[in-house]
Amino acid sequence: MQVEHWHEERDGPLTERALRDKIASRGFSVSRYVYPPGTFFPAHDHGVDKIDGVVSGRLRLTMSGQEAVLEAGDLLLVPKHVMHTAEVVGEEPVVSMDGVRVG
């Protein structure tokens, strides 16, 4: 599980638009979601590759026996048909950019 971190020197200032554009440039359709504290998605998979990106808050993803906590500017590829869970960590809502592979 490889978390990609935002690098302001390379990527510019972190904004919702900038994170959306970065994900979209990789061939993903992007939607914005806000998950309140306490949100938990039990084990599930998707029929397409996805990218989870975090604008703010903290989101724990568990996949293939590994765990990562995504924070502002972090991206994680979730390959299709890979079981995973997701959970908001802490008391701050998570603003997420959810990318779904196009085509």
Predicted confidence (pLDDT) per residue in 4-15, tens digit: 999 999 999 999
> Structural domain tally of the chain?
1
In this prediction, residues 74-84 reach a mean pLDDT of 97
* pLDDT of 33 above 90: yes
CATH number at residue 46: 2.60.120.10
* pLDDT of 103 above 80: no
Secondary structure of the chain in the HEC alphabet? CCEECCCHHHHCCCCHHHHHHHHHCCCEEEEEEEECCCCEEEEECCCCCEEEEEEECCEEEEECCEEEEECCCCEEEECCCCCEEEEECCCCCEEEEEEEECC
- Give the pLDDT confidence score for residue 84 in this predicted structure: 97
pLDDT-derived band of residue 48, with 50, 70 and 90 as boundaries? Answer: very high
Structural domain boundaries enclosing 12: 3-101
